[in-house]
Each structure stands twice: as structure tokens, then as C-alpha cells.
Chains A and B, each alone.
Chain A
């Protein structure tokens, strides 16, 4: 998918508002988005709501690969939103997140 001009792209302030190794939730247009900042580097954005039972993904533990929903430990790939924990849970939407000279930019397009 190409990042079309129509895609909502929002500057959300300093990247440092997300502690290293954690996630924080933001609103991009009407979409709740969880942005993660793994210790291994980079930024990843997923829809903030777990497709299993609506858990807050921004509150989840994460590593370099996945975030784990705090309610039932379902895991989703940070890069793609794919659910990797089994048990027939849908994937979660993944969005593009970038560090633009210290500022967090999220677009509602696939990363």
C-alpha cells in the first residue's frame, strides 16, 4: 500500500513521551492507536484495542517482536499486528509510526 495523501497522518509530539520499552495510547483522528517503543529500537503502531476482548494493548508488556495484551496474554507482532498466540484471535491493524527528528508521526496506513 502506498501512503496516499488522504491517509490521516498526525504529529503527536515528542517521542520521549513514550518510555523506552513501553507503549502509550494516542488518538489519531477517531482511531485509538497504541505506539510502542521497544528497547531494540524503532517505533511501531497498532490499533489500541485487543481484538480478543477489548484489552488495552498500550498497557501490555513488549519485546523486540511482540506486544502481549495484559488481559489474556494474547500476543501480536509489533510490525504486522498478526496474532501469534493461537486460540483463533483476529490480527490487529498495524499502522505506520515514525520518529521525525524526535517527533512522533503516526499515519493510518500499513507500515
Chain B
């Protein structure tokens, strides 16, 4: 395995010895870190050795409660209602290591790190050198000191169990057959799962918890009370506010427990789930800074040693130690970025925790803070104890900062989204919890029938997506690739994600590709821009050569890179026409039959008799199949064959309206003060000036604007990427992030300004910021909520980052570099630029439509 792979590579390319990567710990975080390293090409860079003190490949610890519960053969109240498949437990079987050229030492415990010699020493006497070391030692059950717990220094009293490893679960399973009563010490998440599992085996189960609040890590008192009564309804016995002082032992085995009040409870089994403690002994003896866990920086490196990385439950980052999987996934991705050099500047900033689980049949979801913390925090609370439903939402400054749902978690997807994206909330806060009569298409994805059409563009049903997961797809994007779901207008992507994640039974494999700006370059936008700038990459092919894996070009990345480079290097971008989509090669929008649509610029939607006459003459001369008014107040000539484009442009004698690009499109206006008796501001003038200034500016996606002369808003400014509305007092309100297409969103007020010139300036600054920071194809309606309105106001209006002048300057450069493409390409830019691509097919194929209602 390792040796073979190494030999082959060395034979092919006489490289120096590869670096040695050693991973200590083979639990979920160690394995995840490995996977992340491999997906970043780590196998080519490192000889990888893994030590795990459990004699297995790595397995999914989250499923341990299912191991326990399902072995009962009883109906099981756990996340995966389909039951437990032993194959699902093991994340990676031992074969996986061999296949990936990784040397696995299962059952070997590392006892010391010699940081000067850069070796790790195993309890089997082995000494293994490393260049880079990853510690993923995880954590272990905490056993509170009490009499009767231990039979010897290393062995628990027979009948006492931790609940942490596969061995623990198996030992419990061996024991339950002869047991009748179990006591679970610790009513946290793990304890309640253990309790539910044991109850499924027919045992009477008592939960002992030192406070009145079950799951007090996640829940506040009200939620805990509802959970408690549901669990009691199911026959579980609760002993809250009670401590265990002693485990009673008879004939060398557990016979009961004694509480601090002196009372006893008979039992033949005790499960200790009183918390976990990070495994930091190895780090301590090896001289690494440890507090509650091993202290790391934002790169997930030990603060003492740049060659030692730490991930998972044994890592302490900015004072936090995490014990659930979400943060571990995020940490593993950052660590892999740094170690492999895929993104040396990747940084982990801590995680916002969202917990969703089913405890003994009761759905529980929790995110953020549990209770209001400040006077001004809004607190929405709903309690229906009869049905066992309890819900709270906590809002600070208009942003969701916490939510707890017990019994009914149907709103968890929407809440999680609002929590993660810090997006705008409904004015009526209660809508966060209830639909109040409106149809809700995002009702829990798991409950949708299989024939529900999820992607309305490509006709993909829920069943198609679930089938894809069953066929082995592990990520949302893999399912999207296989079914084409979400590849049309894209508005269903959120729902596609929910369906796939529900089918995967969780978030699924972390998909690093989701953060890439374009699929073919493994960098997000800021990192990509930094590389492009520092290496002065000015053409698409140069970017691929320098930054793509093996320098491979990628068809799906070209358009996005072209747009980015044109934005970054307005003057000296090296134009490669093959990097452009056909629309941008011929400056027209391709139609279903391969003909094109031609839309001349008509700024602000204002035209003249002379223009109209010319357009009419062109339509006659070239037998244009259809002449149509667009939604952006322009005139569209549809069905023009490619070979005729230059001639049509020349005859029109009008500039391009850019109705084909990921670019500034139009400014829709109303007639404003010049004619309208309600007009408060000269919206027509402002619209024309904005369009003339920013015409054709390219960006990550199209930009549609509008200016209305009064709040009657006839130009529909509230549903535009940038929409401006005149208000009384000579002022203009500027809305951003609105949409009324595949998605409908009312824009947010970015600023209210005093003058026409200021409106132009702020519009330009916002657009420049959007161009520089939005992801490829991310419209403003996603961008604005993602960045957060307050943040955007700070940067763009209040200039808190002091970059406003630079943004204005860079926008000015883009404006200055503008060239009308229709005039420029009257000469062919490449051979055959306007040649027919469908020879023999008579074009247009689209129907030729005479004006309806025109006299015959």
C-alpha cells in the first residue's frame, strides 16, 4: 500500500522525499481531517501514518445510541427511522486506508511526542518520525469520583458503563439481557440517548441529574420541563436536582445507587454520562500548552509548535471546546487547507452551534443563546404543554441570536438559515414559528412525498434526489450534478439541500467545493483574488496554469474567471475569447434555435422617434421575427442569425444594451417630476445618468436597477438589485438586494441621500463592493442578506473600513475602461467569430410573429 504507491510515484518523477504526516487519533475528527487532507491532494504530498488506540477503522460515534437501541429489535426512536445498518457505523473500513496509501496502526497508543527530534513514540515501542503532526485524541467519559465506581485502578465495577466507544456499547449490550433496572447518571444529551436505548431493551430506566434542567447545556428551564414530561409519559423515571453519592456493590457487581439525601435505589446496571473530558495527557507530557484542552490558534495549530495541529474535542480554540460534530467538520477543513497549502491563510473563527436531535422520540432543536441576555433582546415564547410543544426565539437588533424548539421542529430549517446568515426577519416575529395561513413550501423536506417536484426547471423530484443518495452520492453538489436539480434558475437550491441532507441523515460530507468561487479552482473568492493579484494573473489560461489542480482548465470555471479578471484588471486584462460564454463572444443573447436577440441601449427607457424609425427599418430590412418590449423598458429584436449581427448593429447605429451579460443591465424609470403630477424627484434624469455611467459594467451576476420619482414606486424600485425612490424633501432612498424573478425579495434601505450626485455615488460604491465580494452568480438578493445589511451600511455609507474612496476609484477605472462592444467588434475579433454554428439548418427556427391586432 504505502510503499507501493510511493515507489510508483518516485519512479515517475524523481522528487525529493515526501513529507511525513502523522495523525494521532482515529475517531471522527481524525478521520475527517484525513479525508479533508486527501481531497486537497494530500496523498501526493505526504506519506501518511495514522495511530488509533481503538482496534477498528474509524466509526460514527453519533450512531452509538442507535447501536444500543437497534440491537433491541424494538421500534427505535432515533434520527434514522430506517434502522441501523452496521455498515453505516464505520465511516471508513480498514480497506479505505490501504486504498488511499495510508498506514494505519490500529490499537497502538502514542505515549509521547519528542518535539525536538520530531518523532512520536508508541506504547508498542515504535518510534515514528513526522514533519507535520495532527493530534485528534478526542475525549473520554468523565467518571465523577464516588465509592463503588471502580473495581480496580483500571476497571469499572461490573455493571458500570461509560457510553463513549463501540466497546462501551457492546459491553452494555452484553449486559442488558440479564438486567431489569438501569440508572443513568447525567441527564445530558448522551445520557438521555443511552436511557432511550436501554428502555428499548425493556429495562426500567432512572435518570439522575444534578440540576432541575435536563440537557442544561442546550436547554433552558421551560424547554427542559416539556421534554421532561414527555419522557415521563414514556415511562422514564426522573430524579432531578439529585446527586449520586455512591454506587452500591453486592458480590462484586452493581446492586444499586445511593443519593446524597441518603436514599437508595436498587438497580443492576449504571451508565455514567456525566460529561466528557478532552484527552490531553499526551499533549501535556509533551510540553504543549493545555488548559481545558490543547490550546490552538486560528490555523488549528498548537500555540507552541507550528508543526503540530490539533482538531476536534481535544482542541481549545478562543476559549471554546466543542463536543458536537459541526465544529469538528469546520476545524478539519481549515486544518486541511493550511496543511496542504490549498489555502495557507485559512482561518477558523469558531462555530455557531446548532443542535438538532431526537431524544426518545421527542424532537429537539437548539441554536445560539438559550435565554434573553439583555433588556433589549426580544423574546418570543410559545408553550403548548398538552401537546408537548415548546418554542422560543430570541432576537437582538433584528437578528436571530437563539432559538429552542421542542416537540415541533418543522421550522428548524428556516430558523437555522436565519441564524446562520443573520438574515432579515419578518416584522411579525411570530411568523418565525408559525405559517399563519400561508402555504409553506419549505415544510420539513423529510416529510415531502417522493413525487414532489423539487426543481421546476429540470423536473427533478424528491424521489430522484433521494435515489441519488441511495446510489452513493455524499454531497449536495454530487446530487445536483447527477440530477441537474438546481441547475436551472437556481431558486430551488435551498430545498434541494434540505432534501439531500435529510436523505443523508445529517449535513453529509462537508463539500469544500461549495466555497470555491468557480468549481475548477480550489479557492474561495478572497483567496483567489489574492493569488491573482500577487501572481499578476491576467488571463484565464494563466489562472488555470497557476492555480488549478495540475493546471487543468475547466469548462465550468471559464465564464466566472473571465468576469473576475475583467473586474480586477479593467485596463490590462488579457482577453481570451475562448474564456467567454457565446453571448459575450458575440454580444447578444443566444436563443433556443441558435439565433440571437439584439437589445440596443435605451437609457432609462427613454427613446425618440428617430430611434424608433431606425429600429423599425432594421426590423423590416432584416426580417426580424419578433420585436418586443422588454421588462427593462427597452426594445428587443429577436431571432437574428449570428452572421447578421454586425450588420444589424451597424444599421441600428445604437450602442449595446448588454442584455446578454452578467453585467449592469438597465435602469427602469418612471416619468418623475417632468410630467407626473405626483413626482418628487427627477427619476428619469437620475436613471439615465446612472445607466450612462455604469453601462455594461460586468459583475458576478446581472444587475437590474430602477429609479422611481415618488413612493408610489411605479418603476418597482423595491424589487431591484439597486432601486432608488424619491421621497419628500428632495431626498432619495436607496434600496439594495431586491428581486422579483425566480426569487422575490423586497430590497433593504441602504441609505437615504440628499442629492442626485450622492445617489449616483452610493450606487456605484455598492455595485463595486458587490463586484468585489459576491460569489459567482450570486445575485444581490443573496449577497445582501449574506453580508448583513448593517455591515453593508457600515462599509458603504459610513465608511467604517475606510475603503470607500478606493471603491469609488476602482469603479471609476471600470467606467473609464468602457468600450461599446458593438462598435469594437465591427471588425472580427477572432476568425469566424460570427460564423453559423448550425450549418444546413435554416434559421430562424423560432416562429415569425406579426404584431397581433395589426391590420392584415
The answer to whether B541 touches A58 (Cβ under 8 A) is: no
Contacts of A61 in B (CB 8 A): 555, 558-559, 578-582
Q: Which of A16, A27, A39 is in CB contact (< 8 Å) with B578?
A: A39
Contacts of A42 in B (CB 8 A): none
Quote the shortest CB–CB distance from A49 to chain B (angstroms). Answer: 7
Find the B residue at minimum CB distance from A53.
B592
Asked if A43 is at the interface of the complex by the 8 Å CB criterion, the answer is no
- The distance in angstroms between the C-alpha atoms of A89 and B827, with both chains bound, is 37
Asked if A30 is at the interface of the complex by the 8 Å CB criterion, the answer is yes
Find the B residue at minimum CB distance from A32.
B839
- The distance in angstroms between the C-alpha atoms of A55 and B831, with both chains bound, is 21
Find the A residue at minimum CB distance from B558.
A61
Asked if B837 is at the interface of the complex by the 8 Å CB criterion, the answer is yes
- The distance in angstroms between the C-alpha atoms of A24 and B481, with both chains bound, is 27
Asked if A54 is at the interface of the complex by the 8 Å CB criterion, the answer is yes
The answer to whether B578 touches A58 (Cβ under 8 A) is: no
- The distance in angstroms between the C-alpha atoms of A86 and B835, with both chains bound, is 30
Asked if A111 is at the interface of the complex by the 8 Å CB criterion, the answer is no
Which of chain A's residues 41-59 have a Cβ closer than 8 Å to chain B? 48-49, 53-59
The answer to whether B555 touches A17 (Cβ under 8 A) is: no
Q: Which of B555, B593, B831 is in CB contact (< 8 Å) with A67?
A: B555
Contacts of A59 in B (CB 8 A): 582, 585, 590, 594, 642, 837
Asked if B552 is at the interface of the complex by the 8 Å CB criterion, the answer is yes
Return the CB mask of B827-854 against A: 1 if under 8 Å, else 0.
Answer: 0001110011111110000000000000
The answer to whether A63 touches B836 (Cβ under 8 A) is: no
- The distance in angstroms between the C-alpha atoms of A54 and B520, with both chains bound, is 27
The answer to whether A85 touches B838 (Cβ under 8 A) is: no
The answer to whether B837 touches A56 (Cβ under 8 A) is: yes
Q: Which of A17, A27, A63 is in CB contact (< 8 Å) with B558?
A: A63
The answer to whether B554 touches A63 (Cβ under 8 A) is: yes
The answer to whether A32 touches B841 (Cβ under 8 A) is: yes
The answer to whether A48 touches B838 (Cβ under 8 A) is: yes
Q: A56-B837, A61-B559, A70-B582 are in contact. Are A16 and B831 (CB under 8 A)?
A: yes
The answer to whether A32 touches B840 (Cβ under 8 A) is: yes
Contacts of A48 in B (CB 8 A): 837-839
Stretch in B112-120, B295-303, B482-490, B762-770 touching the partner: B482-490
Q: Which of B481, B578, B583, B837 is in CB contact (< 8 Å) with A21?
A: B578
Contacts of A30 in B (CB 8 A): 840
Asked if B439 is at the interface of the complex by the 8 Å CB criterion, the answer is no
- The distance in angstroms between the C-alpha atoms of A65 and B555, with both chains bound, is 9
Asked if A8 is at the interface of the complex by the 8 Å CB criterion, the answer is no
Asked if B617 is at the interface of the complex by the 8 Å CB criterion, the answer is no
- The distance in angstroms between the C-alpha atoms of A54 and B592, with both chains bound, is 8
Q: Which of B487, B553, B579, B832 is in CB contact (< 8 Å) with A73?
A: B487
- The distance in angstroms between the C-alpha atoms of A48 and B839, with both chains bound, is 8
The answer to whether A70 touches B590 (Cβ under 8 A) is: yes
Asked if B647 is at the interface of the complex by the 8 Å CB criterion, the answer is no
Asked if B576 is at the interface of the complex by the 8 Å CB criterion, the answer is yes
- The distance in angstroms between the C-alpha atoms of A51 and B581, with both chains bound, is 20
Contacts of A68 in B (CB 8 A): 555-556
Q: Which of A20, A22, A25, A53 is in CB contact (< 8 Å) with B839?
A: A25
- The distance in angstroms between the C-alpha atoms of A85 and B576, with both chains bound, is 25
Q: Which of B483, B541, B841 is in CB contact (< 8 Å) with A87?
A: B483
- The distance in angstroms between the C-alpha atoms of A22 and B839, with both chains bound, is 17
The answer to whether B579 touches A21 (Cβ under 8 A) is: yes
Find the A residue at minimum CB distance from B576.
A21
Quote the shortest CB–CB distance from A25 to chain B (angstroms). Answer: 5
Q: A24-B832, A39-B541, A71-B592 are in contact. Are A63 and B837 (CB under 8 A)?
A: no
The answer to whether A22 touches B830 (Cβ under 8 A) is: yes
Contacts of B582 in A (CB 8 A): 59-61, 70
Asked if B239 is at the interface of the complex by the 8 Å CB criterion, the answer is no
Asked if A40 is at the interface of the complex by the 8 Å CB criterion, the answer is yes
The answer to whether A26 touches B839 (Cβ under 8 A) is: yes
Contacts of A87 in B (CB 8 A): 458, 483-484
Find the A residue at minimum CB distance from B556.
A68
Contacts of B579 in A (CB 8 A): 21, 61
The answer to whether A86 touches B484 (Cβ under 8 A) is: yes
The answer to whether A58 touches B593 (Cβ under 8 A) is: no
- The distance in angstroms between the C-alpha atoms of A20 and B576, with both chains bound, is 9
Asked if A18 is at the interface of the complex by the 8 Å CB criterion, the answer is yes
Point out which of B555, B577, B835 has the most chain A C-beta atoms below 10 A from its C-beta.
B555
Q: A21-B579, A59-B594, A61-B578 are in contact. Are A75 and B839 (CB under 8 A)?
A: no
The answer to whether A19 touches B831 (Cβ under 8 A) is: yes
Contacts of B837 in A (CB 8 A): 24-25, 34, 48, 56-59
Which of chain B's residues 483-506 have a Cβ closer than 8 Å to chain A? 483-484, 487
The answer to whether B840 touches A27 (Cβ under 8 A) is: yes
The answer to whether B841 touches A17 (Cβ under 8 A) is: no
The answer to whether A25 touches B555 (Cβ under 8 A) is: no
- The distance in angstroms between the C-alpha atoms of A66 and B601, with both chains bound, is 35
- The distance in angstroms between the C-alpha atoms of A34 and B838, with both chains bound, is 9
Which of chain B's residues 213-245 have a Cβ closer than 8 Å to chain A? none
Contacts of B839 in A (CB 8 A): 25-27, 32, 48
Which of chain B's residues 547-581 have a Cβ closer than 8 Å to chain A? 552-556, 558-559, 576-581
Q: A39-B553, A63-B553, A86-B482 are in contact. Are A25 and B835 (CB under 8 A)?
A: yes
Contacts of A108 in B (CB 8 A): none
Return the CB mask of A1-29 against B: 1 if under 8 Å, else 0.
Answer: 00000000000000011111110111100
Point out which of A27, A40, A53, A58 has the most chain B C-beta atoms below 10 A from its C-beta.
A58
Quote the shortest CB–CB distance from A81 to chain B (angstroms). Answer: 15
Contacts of A60 in B (CB 8 A): 582
Find the A residue at minimum CB distance from B578.
A21
Quote the shortest CB–CB distance from A14 to chain B (angstroms). Answer: 9
Contacts of A24 in B (CB 8 A): 832, 835, 837
- The distance in angstroms between the C-alpha atoms of A68 and B552, with both chains bound, is 16
Q: Which of B481, B555, B590, B836 is in CB contact (< 8 Å) with A66?
A: B555
Asked if A106 is at the interface of the complex by the 8 Å CB criterion, the answer is no
The answer to whether B484 touches A85 (Cβ under 8 A) is: yes
Quote the shortest CB–CB distance from A73 to chain B (angstroms). Answer: 7
Contacts of B642 in A (CB 8 A): 59
The answer to whether B593 touches A18 (Cβ under 8 A) is: no
Quote the shortest CB–CB distance from A15 to chain B (angstroms). Answer: 11
Contacts of A34 in B (CB 8 A): 837
Q: Which of A20, A64, A86 is in CB contact (< 8 Å) with B483?
A: A86
Contacts of A66 in B (CB 8 A): 555
- The distance in angstroms between the C-alpha atoms of A65 and B552, with both chains bound, is 10
List 8 A-B pairs, minimum CB-CB distance, nearest first. A21-B578, A56-B837, A58-B837, A59-B582, A63-B555, A19-B830, A63-B553, A87-B484
Q: A21-B579, A24-B837, A54-B594 are in contact. List 15 more A-B contacts (CB 8 A).
A: A19-B577, A21-B578, A22-B830, A32-B838, A40-B553, A48-B837, A49-B841, A58-B838, A60-B582, A61-B559, A64-B553, A67-B555, A73-B556, A86-B483, A87-B483
A and B contact pairs by CB, cutoff 8 A, 8 listed: A18-B831, A20-B578, A24-B832, A25-B839, A32-B841, A34-B837, A39-B553, A56-B838
